[in-house]
Structures are given as C-alpha cells and as structure tokens.
C-alpha cells in the first residue's frame, strides 16, 4: 500500500530531526496520511507539523521545514515534497513508483488488495438474525448484503472472521407463528374472528400448513428430522414451522451467496440455563431490584436514560435479557471484538444490552459490542413504491427481488449507500443493461477489457507479456497515472472499509475506477502502431481487470468476461 510506504519516511525524518536536536517532542503524535482535496497539491498530505507546533514552540511551517530537511526522496519513492497552507506537508509520488505498482498487482494476482492490518485477530460479526416467522424481507436483504460484505472486507484486511446468525426462536412471535399455522391446518382463514391478534397472514403460512399436514420432513439446523401431521399438536407444529421457515431463509441466503459459520438458537439460551444464570448474576451484583411485581435492571448506572424491566410480572423476560446472556456467551467464547449488524429499529437495545453486560462485571469493556445499524429500504417500480409481496403479503421478499433483478444487482444496490442512510431501490434501474445502471457500468468495464484482450490477441499482442522498465515508463500521461493511482488505492480502500464499517466505500471505488477506465479507453488507442506502448497499455489494462475482479469479489459480485 502506497500510504503505508509514505508514513515510515516521515517517521524516519522525525527521528533524524530529534537526533539533530532540531525537534524535541517524544513520543510524537500518530502520523496520519491523507489525500489533498485538490490532486494538484500532491498525492498525499500530512498535518504532523501542525500537531507538533505547539509543543515545539515553533510555527507549523517552521516545523514542516525541519521535517522536509530530513525527509529525502525515499530511494526514488517521492518526486518532490512541499509545504502548503498553514503547515501541511504535501507529497508527490514519482511516476516510476506508481508504475511499479503494476508489477505488485501482477505478483499478488487474486490476492491483490488484501492487507494484514487485522493481524489475524478474532472478530465475530452477527448479521441478518431474522426471526424464523416468515421469508426474508428487503430489510433483511440490506442487512445481509452489508453484514456479509463487512465480513469479506474484514477478512481481506487480515482479520480472523466468524460469521454468526442468531435465531429468535422463542417468545410471543413464535407462539403466534405456531397458532397461525395450526389455524390454517384447521381451515380457519385470517378473516375469521378466531384469528389471533398479531397472527401471520401471508400465503407462506398456508404453504407451511400444507407441508405439515402432508407429513413432509424438514431438516432443522441441528440436523434432526421433524415429521409432523397432527393439527391438534401445537408443540409439533411449532417445531415444524420454525424448521420449515429456517430452511426457507437458508435457501434465500444461499441464493444471495451469504454463508454463516455459527448458528445460535435463542431457545438454547433458556434450555442451557444461560438466561437464568445471567439474571442471578445481575441480582448478586446489586444491579437489579423488585418494583411493581417486576424485576428491574439499574441500567441508569451505566448510561441509560431510565431503568429497564428484565422480568415482567407474569414471569417472562423482556427481549433484551436473552440478548445479554447471548453476548455474555460470545465474550466467553473469546471474542473480544464483536460487531452486530442490525436494522435501525434495534437502536433502543444497544444501550440496554451494553448496560446489562457492564452490570455482569466480567471484564467486558464499555463500548462492547460494536453496532452497525442500517436504515430502511424503499422499493420502487415504474415510479411507484412497491409495498407488498404475492407470497408474504405485507412486505417485499428478498427472494422476489433477487429473482427479478439478479443477485449481483441486488447486492450492489444494497451496498451503494452508507448503512445509516435510507435508500431507494429502483427495480427498473437495476434491470437496465445501460451505463445508467451502476453495477452494469462496473461489470461492463471488466467485460470491455476482456474484449480488448481478445482483439489484441488476434493482432498478435498478448496481455500476459510483461513489459520492461522502459516500456512501463511510457505510461506517464495524466490519464495513465490516474488509472494506476486508482489501482494502487484498493488496499487502502479495503482498510478504510474495515476501519469504519462502511462497505459502501468499495462501490464508490469501483464506480470511480470504471469511470476512469472508460475515459481512458475513449481517449487512447490501446492497440497502436507502437509495439512498446501497446504492450504497456495492455499490461495496464490486465492489472485493471484484475483489480476490478478482486474488488467485485469482495462485494460478492461476479466479474463477467462478456456482456
């Protein structure tokens, strides 16, 4: 990564300046390498002189002059360095250093873009975690795209990632599911007065009831087989319905190319005694009290705006209590870093779960776990909002979206906005085979490069041929260097995505790279009468295709060779 090659040069300059007693501050602040807003001001910039100025009792520009005095050119890495504004140090990378990036991309191949910043440290990411009460909806789909891509990004940044799905297979919603299926088995429709408030009315409930009565077998997540058929046996119906809908959700996720390493059932937290044990621990620690026949957590001691009920008067636990027990189990499994990707409607649980974990007093730090909360998705077709599904009734399902616009477009569109920003999913745009469609525009860049290779081979030029240093030197026009700089930015982009939990940055990167390529191709003859220049540009495009493919792969999206 170019950014990581710049920082040690500045570090070395500071050490030399300190040895020469021209600077005295030790230790110095972290060196942060940024990018100037105006590319004409350099490839990278650093504000370290401004950070040191007060302690050194010198003007920032004076500090910057001392640093530049000891900086040098990094064995040809830097073409020049200069001071800008109040004391920014702007750094210009030499063309030969940029051109050498192409050799690095070739050497790393499919692994180009991957970094070691995570140092193989463990991180667990929980996402989707849908209640097994119906097909996955578009909100789950956005969470699946963000969570899965965040896992891919963290993996690419060198983290040891565990993907986890938490099934809420206990509580009132599961009771309503079982009762809804039972009534369908008995021929009772949702418009019947006996239909329960909060019952599930989608067509899929009829499908579950039909499968149950036909004594179909369903393989549950624990690999046990449940075969049922008695409409009076509500407990059997409950097990069957949950297993049937879990299988349906698994099929939806498989169609979306989303996989998990671990599945945890909420019911297991009760059967293993974890929920009761967590509550006893909170009571023993003095953080719980009885009031109005309910058990309360003193969550205000840990930053909440009011205390929260843990156990209601009827003896049942509120929904955040098993979450506390579940996260205690995560901690005990050795996950000192945990990220939860959830819908924004879970915002109120963040403080409660963290408060409960702090009250356990088992060494969990205050900001644990970390959260990524995504906003709503509005689906549009023909300029009008699409609100219902033929199968689910009350919402648009993820599977229907995938079936209509394809997996690649669905994933890319879900990832085009920051998680905390609401998004509009335009079905008509996602289906277009034009440059107006962002995912088509990016994929077409890869396919277009592949067609260039085919054309070149017919004329006796091969993209696999490696040019020598002199040939690479001819890639020196502004558009050549702009392309190479974008290719070099992939590792930094991966690290930024992982650091900020913002996989949408990768879609921005791909759109910019595709735009740069299309502009490059429209302005330059790749196959020309100059063999050396042709070889160099084919070599550049080969590395561009590799970079496009690698970045798309991290998004879980294909890189077609023909379109």
Task: Give the mean pLDDT of 525-549.
Answer: 91
* Distance between CA atoms of residues 445 and 525, nearest Å: 16
Element (H, E) at 181: helix 172-185
**pLDDT, tens digit, for every residue of 229-257?**
688 899 999 999 999 999 999 999 999 99
Name the pLDDT band for 222 (thresholds 50, 70, 90). very low
At residue 39, the pLDDT reads: 85
Contact criterion met (CB below 8 Å) for 70 and 16: yes
Contact criterion met (CB below 8 Å) for 537 and 506: no
Token code pair at residue 406: 């394809």
At residue 218, the pLDDT reads: 54
Asked if pLDDT for residue 264 goes beyond 70, the answer is: yes
Architecture of domain 99-116+434-554: Orthogonal Bundle (1.10)
**pLDDT, tens digit, for every residue of 181-197?**
999 999 999 999 999 88
Contact criterion met (CB below 8 Å) for 439 and 557: yes
> 122 pairs with which residues across the strands?
160
Asked if pLDDT for residue 325 goes beyond 90, the answer is: yes
* Distance between CA atoms of residues 201 and 395, nearest Å: 11
Asked if pLDDT for residue 471 goes beyond 70, the answer is: yes
Task: Give the mean pLDDT of 66-71.
Answer: 96
Name the pLDDT band for 427 (thresholds 50, 70, 90). very high
Domain ranges of the chain: 2-93, 99-116+434-554, 172-236
Q: What is the CATH topology of the domain spanning 2-93?
A: Gyrase A; domain 2 (3.30.1360)
* Distance between CA atoms of residues 40 and 210, nearest Å: 68
């Amino acid at each position: 990564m170019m950014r990581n090659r710049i920082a040690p040069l500045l570090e070395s300059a500071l050490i030399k300046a300190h040895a020469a007693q021209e600077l005295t501050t030790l230790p110095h602040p972290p060196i942060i390498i940024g990018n100037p807003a105006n590319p004409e001001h350099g490839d990278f910039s650093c504000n370290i002189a401004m950070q040191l100025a007060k302690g050194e009792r010198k003007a920032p520009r004076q500090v910057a002059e001392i640093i530049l005095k000891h900086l040098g050119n990094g064995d040809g890495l830097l073409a020049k360095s200069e001071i800008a504004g109040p004391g920014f140090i702007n750094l210009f990378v030499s063309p030969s250093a940029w051109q050498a990036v192409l050799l690095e991309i070739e050497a790393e191949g499919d692994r180009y873009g991957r970094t070691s910043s995570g140092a193989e440290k463990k991180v667990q990411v929980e996402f989707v975690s849908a209640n097994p009460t119906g097909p996955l909806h578009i909100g789950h789909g956005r969470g699946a795209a963000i969570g899965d891509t965040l896992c891919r990004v963290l993996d690419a940044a060198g983290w040891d990632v565990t993907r986890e799905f938490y099934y809420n297979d206990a509580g009132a919603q599961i009771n309503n599911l079982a009762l809804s299926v039972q009534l369908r088995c008995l021929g009772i429709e949702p418009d019947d007065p006996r239909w329960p408030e909060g019952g599930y009315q989608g067509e899929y409930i009829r499908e579950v009831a039909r499968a149950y009565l036909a004594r179909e077998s369903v393989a549950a997540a624990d690999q046990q087989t449940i075969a049922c058929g008695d409409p009076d046996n509500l407990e059997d119906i409950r097990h069957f319905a949950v297993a049937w809908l879990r299988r349906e959700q698994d099929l939806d996720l498989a169609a979306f190319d989303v996989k998990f390493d671990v599945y945890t059932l909420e019911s297991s937290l009760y059967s293993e005694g974890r929920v009761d044990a967590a509550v006893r621990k909170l009571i023993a620690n003095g953080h719980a009290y009885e009031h109005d026949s309910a058990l309360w957590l003193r969550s205000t001691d840990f930053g909440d705006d009011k205390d929260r009920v843990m156990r209601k008067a009827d003896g049942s636990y509120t929904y955040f209590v098993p979450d506390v027990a579940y996260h205690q189990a995560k901690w005990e499994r050795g996950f000192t870093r945990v990220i939860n990707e959830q819908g924004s409607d879970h915002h109120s649980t963040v403080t409660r779960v963290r408060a409960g974990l702090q009250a356990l007093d088992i060494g969990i730090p205050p900001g644990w776990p970390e959260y990524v909360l995504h906003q709503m998705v509005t689906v549009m077709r023909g300029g009008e909002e699409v609100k219902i599904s033929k199968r689910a009734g009350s919402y648009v399902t993820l599977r229907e979206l995938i079936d209509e616009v394809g997996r690649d477009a669905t994933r890319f569109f879900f990832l085009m906005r920051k998680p905390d920003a609401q998004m509009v999913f335009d079905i008509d745009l996602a289906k277009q085979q034009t440059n107006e469609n962002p995912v088509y525009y990016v994929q077409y860049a890869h396919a277009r490069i592949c067609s260039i290779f085919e054309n070149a081979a017919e004329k006796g030029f091969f993209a696999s041929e490696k040019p020598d240093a002199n040939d690479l030197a001819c890639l020196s026009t502004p558009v050549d260097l702009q392309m190479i700089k974008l290719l070099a930015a992939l590792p930094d982009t991966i690290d930024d995505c992982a650091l900020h939990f913002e996989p949408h940055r990768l879609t921005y990167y791909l759109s910019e790279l595709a735009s740069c390529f299309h502009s490059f191709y429209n302005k330059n003859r790749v196959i020309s009468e100059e063999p050396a220049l042709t070889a160099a540009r084919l070599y550049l495009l080969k590395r561009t295709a590799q970079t496009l493919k690698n970045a798309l792969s991290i998004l879980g999206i294909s890189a077609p060779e023909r379109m």
